[in-house]
A and B are shown apart, each in its own frame.
Chain A
Amino acid sequence: MTSLTNYLLVSAALFAIGAAGVFFRRNAIIIFMCVELMLNAVNLTLIAFSQFLGDHSGQVLVFFVMTVAAAEAAVGLAIVIAIYRNKASTEVDTLNLLKG
């Protein structure tokens, strides 16, 4: 039987990979995928705890996260395409319209 710690370690590793990707990659689509990775890391943690505690609400929450992530992916992709049409690039360091 795999112990809770192993699940948590995998989850932490996934989250860290995702976070590093968000911070250091330039391509908006990769960043986007990394966000998904972080969400899945969290999902994994939720399921692991749910199993460990014998409480099913954690698993229910995972469905919510996946639903929101799917919706977010749809909206996010639309935004990325709109940016690409305007800038002919999805490199995030060329997008600094938010600066003060």
Chain B
Amino acid sequence: MNELIPYIVLFPLLGFAINGLFGWKYKTNPIAGVIATLAVTASFVVACMVFFNMVGATEEHRVLKVTVMDWISVGKVNVGISYLIDQLSIIFVLVITGVGALIHLYSMGYMKGDPGYARFFTYLNLFIVMMLQLVMADNYLLTFLGWEGVGLCSYLLIGFWYEEVKNGDAAKKAFIVNRIGDFGFLVAMGIMLVTFGTLNYQDVANGALSMGSSTAITAITMMLFLGCTGKSAQIPLFVWLPDAMAGPTPVSALIHAATMVTSGIYLVARSNILFALSPATLSVVAVVAICTALLAAMIGIFQNDIKKVLAYSTVSQLGYMFLGLGVGAFSAGVFHVLTHAFFKACLFLGSGAVIHAMHHEQDMQKMGGLKKYLPITYWTFLIATIAIAGIPPFAGFFSKDEILWKAFSQGSVLLWVLGALGALMTAFYMFRLVYLTFFGKERFDAHHHPPHEVGAAMYIPLIVLAALSILGGFLGVPEILGGGETLHRWLEPVLGAGEQLAAAHAGVHGEGMEIPLMAVSVGIAVVGILLATRYYKSKTTLAENERKIGGFYKIASNKFYVDKLYESAVVKPTFGLSNSFLYKIVDVKIIDGIVNGAAAVTGMLSGILRRLQNGLVQNYAMVIVIGIFALIGYILMF
């Protein structure tokens, strides 16, 4: 099976190369999309073959390692382009290639006729390659390569329609905010090298285990988590994700909901032993996570841009995933990544279909009543919404509930209460979105250009993802409901050690509370839905009720002024410093001064020297003779 693994990366790489080299020739011709989609589908097929082989193998034969080539070999440190396929990474590989293939297919419809059609698929294939590096790497450095690579692709795709300045700005924002996080990742690798002398995942984990809890491990995990807050949009680095919606909608679905943003969760899960050895970091993770989940949910309630709501919802759901990790329930976090990839990709693609139908209108205040025009989009969207709201037996219910239960049993009651509050808000804003978009009076001009249902390339992925949103949860039905916790047991060999370590620190309490808590959280979700129904289902004008709330509405709809705070605390001073000091003094005075000064000094010296060259032959002869005399004198004297 090992020899198949490199092909998972190879196919999208080929797609990238072909479209990248020859894309300019076939411009808007659908061939670019076909190549890219086939490439990702091929890797999905290979990944499935590897996966089913793993399922068939005994447990100790489920970890596959392949070294493609040596990469960096300095002293004792040896880092290779080598892949580690185990129970954790194969899940991610399947999601990336599977959901990725669906989104590629969808993009063929969505991007049809775009002048950058081939360029789009080139970037998308490169993204898949990089994302696969990230999850398949057997060492931190190769993961970091993928980590930076997906950041690059995210940047390129957010700013895909670069003719508009605001798209370019959003791309820059995402890129710069992520650099701050990546700095943390780099520092973490530095400390790892100093402490363990290796970057290999298994060696680092073994080293950490033999070392026990220590300051170094806390420092490493804190810095890694800083990287994760950037990539996975947690407080304080979440501000880029909503702006990233400037990119084409399939990008939002693939990169900014289903795959890249979950790489922070992957990294923490992959480093579970390190994190479990540092209870302080775990607490930080849990606190940051729950704050992010709540803050983003509160902002999401009052957004009117359909994609912005989904973006804040993503931030909030990522918060849930980190909450799972933070309380030491690593597999619960990964489970939510999986289900979230299904329903959030479905939601984003659904919103893309809506935007497509509305001729690139994203403001929900100008939608309404789309249910009858877009039946397939409506039903798939509704299914995904129910899934994210946490209604059993849809996928989101099982994963979110597992996180909440672990937060209660291994964390604290407060974490559970806040998490449940977040669930209430999730159900509320998601159904607000559904009602505003698909129900009520039509707030657009239907005579001018009536909305139309999307083509097959676009609704097939919607249907598949909706089906997965229904069924995906059954991978992790808890034992108490008679389920086998399939996913949990599957991940046990990778995540079990960390989970046991973390649980040993935290202790488990609340025996017998699982069912009641489950009931409560379902009740909460229903309350959220009912509230949304009451306020939004048949409203013709939006936001009348919202403005009545007054102060809170103002704060939340302004995104808690976080962006403004960064604007005035970081961006403006940076610009000010750049302009007044770096530009006017360092650049103009110092650097230009040095350069121009060097030229002026040379000019002056040559002015003196040129007087020697007066063009008179006799002078030259005289100089030669004087030289000869000087030379003879020197020889005679010494």
Interface residues of A (CB under 8 A from B): 19, 22-24, 31, 92-93, 95-100
Cα distance A19–B626 when bound, in Å?
Answer: 12
Q: In the complex, which residues of chain B have a beta carbon less than 8 angstroms from the beta carbon of A96?
A: 614-616
**B625 interfacial contact with A, CB 8 Å:** yes
26 contacts between A and B (CB under 8 A): A19-B625, A22-B618, A22-B621, A23-B621, A23-B622, A23-B625, A24-B618, A92-B616, A92-B617, A92-B618, A95-B616, A95-B617, A96-B615, A96-B616, A97-B615, A98-B615, A98-B616, A98-B617, A98-B620, A99-B610, A99-B614, A99-B615, A99-B616, A100-B610, A100-B613, A100-B615
> B616 contacts A93, CB within 8 Å?
yes
Q: In the complex, which residues of chain B have a beta carbon less than 8 angstroms from the beta carbon of A93?
A: 616, 618
Pick the 5 closest A-B CB pairs, nearest first. A99-B615, A96-B615, A100-B613, A98-B615, A99-B614
User: Which residues between 600 and 636 of chain B lie within 8 Å of chain A, taking CB atoms?
Assistant: 610, 613-618, 620-622, 625
Q: In the complex, which residues of chain B have a beta carbon less than 8 angstroms from the beta carbon of A24?
A: 618
Cα distance A45–B625 when bound, in Å?
Answer: 20
* B625 shortest CB reach to chain A, Å: 7
* B617 shortest CB reach to chain A, Å: 6
> A95 contacts B618, CB within 8 Å?
no
* Chain B binding surface SS class: helix
Q: In the complex, which residues of chain A have a beta carbon less than 8 angstroms from the beta carbon of B625?
A: 19, 23
* B633 shortest CB reach to chain A, Å: 17
20 further interface pairs, Cβ-Cβ under 8 Å (given A95-B616, A100-B615): A22-B621, A23-B621, A23-B622, A23-B625, A24-B618, A31-B618, A92-B616, A93-B616, A93-B618, A95-B615, A96-B614, A98-B613, A98-B616, A98-B620, A99-B610, A99-B613, A99-B614, A99-B615, A99-B616, A100-B613
* B250 shortest CB reach to chain A, Å: 67
Cα distance A31–B621 when bound, in Å?
Answer: 12
Q: In the complex, which residues of chain A have a beta carbon less than 8 angstroms from the beta carbon of B614?
A: 96, 99
Cα distance A95–B613 when bound, in Å?
Answer: 13
Cα distance A90–B618 when bound, in Å?
Answer: 14
Q: In the complex, which residues of chain B have a beta carbon less than 8 angstroms from the beta carbon of A19?
A: 625
Residue of A nearest to B610 (CB): A100
Residue of B nearest to A99 (CB): B615
Cα distance A97–B617 when bound, in Å?
Answer: 10
Cα distance A97–B615 when bound, in Å?
Answer: 6
* B605 shortest CB reach to chain A, Å: 13
Q: In the complex, which residues of chain B have a beta carbon less than 8 angstroms from the beta carbon of A98?
A: 613, 615-617, 620
Q: In the complex, which residues of chain B have a beta carbon less than 8 angstroms from the beta carbon of A31?
A: 618
* A43 shortest CB reach to chain B, Å: 20
Q: In the complex, which residues of chain A have a beta carbon less than 8 angstroms from the beta carbon of B622?
A: 23
Q: In the complex, which residues of chain A have a beta carbon less than 8 angstroms from the beta carbon of B618?
A: 22-24, 31, 92-93
* A34 shortest CB reach to chain B, Å: 11
Q: In the complex, which residues of chain A have a beta carbon less than 8 angstroms from the beta carbon of B610?
A: 99-100
User: Which residues between 571 and 617 of chain B lie within 8 Å of chain A, taking CB atoms?
Assistant: 610, 613-617
Q: In the complex, which residues of chain A have a beta carbon less than 8 angstroms from the beta carbon of B620?
A: 98
Residue of B nearest to A98 (CB): B615
Cα distance A93–B620 when bound, in Å?
Answer: 12
* A92 shortest CB reach to chain B, Å: 6
Residue of B nearest to A28 (CB): B617
Residue of B nearest to A96 (CB): B615
* B323 shortest CB reach to chain A, Å: 78
* A42 shortest CB reach to chain B, Å: 15
* B315 shortest CB reach to chain A, Å: 70
Q: In the complex, which residues of chain A have a beta carbon less than 8 angstroms from the beta carbon of B613?
A: 98-100
Cα distance A41–B276 when bound, in Å?
Answer: 101
* A72 shortest CB reach to chain B, Å: 15
Cα distance A95–B619 when bound, in Å?
Answer: 12
